[in-house]
């Protein structure tokens, strides 16, 4: 038995279905960001596609407590989490290789200023957002690596569940990362103007969808918690 699934073939078909959904999400984000340069458009496509898979994985559980018909989709959370991680790894590689050029300084928002012959802090929010994304990806690696039977058998069910409770930490850190770039980073900057860098970028057409995804998970968690407390109190706990 594979995580409650009776055959390897079924498990592979489920992964194939979620992979196709992830590819469609990446393609959709690519299409709607048509006004951005090709490299930035590609970064955004993989970043946005992975975030929407993560949203599904974290939304569907508490949402199914609120509306029972959604329970049929709950079992897809693990596949969605694994493919979120894989697509997010591609996004991270594209950023490291194409944007910050494997520089730790630039990853944290510093740039080399020839006039001063030193690295200076240019975008503090950029560094914090990248740090949030890095921590989220690190936790996601652990969760993806333990989303299999052998990990459950080795850790034990209770320990495995405790470990995977950090999935919400991954989501909220990822949301900080996404919302910073959707709402803040590409707005006009006085410092960029002084340095002779671009100050105006195209608007992010998905920024309110990202915000809605963040708020929907937060809201459904609160509602599910209230319903759980009410059910326990009514049962005499």
SS3 of the chain = CECCECCHHHHHHHHHHHHHHHHHHHHHHHHHCCCCCHHHHHHHHHHHHHHHHHHHHHHHHHHHHHCHHHHHHHHHHHHHHHHHHHHHHHHHHHHHHHCCCCCHHHHCCEEEECCCCEEEECCHHHHHHHHHHHHHHHHHHHHHHCCCHHHHHHHCHHHHHHHHCCHHHHHHHHHHHHHHHHHCCCCCCHHHHHCCCCCCCCCCCCHHHHHHHHHHHHHHHHHHHHHHHHHHHHCCC
> Are the beta carbons of 148 and 163 closer than 8 angstroms?
no
Which pTM does this prediction carry?
Answer: 0.92
Q: Percent of the chain at pLDDT above 90?
A: 70
pLDDT, mean of each 10-residue run, the chain (237 residues): 65 94 98 94 97 98 94 93 97 95 93 84 90 97 88 88 94 98 88 71 94 98 93 75
Looking at residue 150, its pLDDT comes to 82
């Amino acid at each position: 038995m594979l995580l409650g699934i009776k055959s390897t073939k079924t498990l592979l078909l489920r992964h194939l279905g979620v992979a196709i959904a992830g590819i469609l999400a990446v393609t959709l984000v690519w299409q709607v960001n048509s006004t951005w340069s090709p490299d930035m458009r590609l970064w955004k496509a993989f970043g946005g596609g992975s975030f929407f898979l993560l949203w599904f994985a974290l939304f569907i559980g508490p949402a199914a407590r609120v509306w029972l018909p959604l329970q049929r989709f709950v079992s897809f959370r693990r596949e969605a989490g694994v493919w979120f991680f894989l697509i997010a790894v591609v996004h991270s590689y594209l950023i490291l290789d194409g944007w910050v050029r494997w520089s730790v300084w630039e990853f944290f928002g510093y740039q080399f200023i020839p006039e001063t012959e030193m690295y200076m802090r240019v975008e503090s929010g950029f560094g914090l957002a990248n740090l949030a994304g890095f921590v989220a990806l690190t936790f996601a690696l652990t969760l993806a690596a333990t989303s299999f039977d052998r990990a459950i058998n080795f850790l034990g069910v209770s320990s495995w569940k405790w470990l995977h409770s950090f999935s919400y930490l991954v989501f909220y850190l990822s949301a900080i990362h996404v919302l910073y770039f959707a709402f803040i980073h590409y707005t006009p900057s006085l410092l960029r103007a002084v340095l002779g860098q671009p100050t105006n970028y195209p608007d992010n057409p998905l920024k309110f969808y990202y915000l809605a995804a963040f708020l929907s998970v937060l809201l459904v968690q609160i509602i599910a918690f209230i319903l759980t407390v009410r059910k326990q109190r009514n049962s005499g706990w």
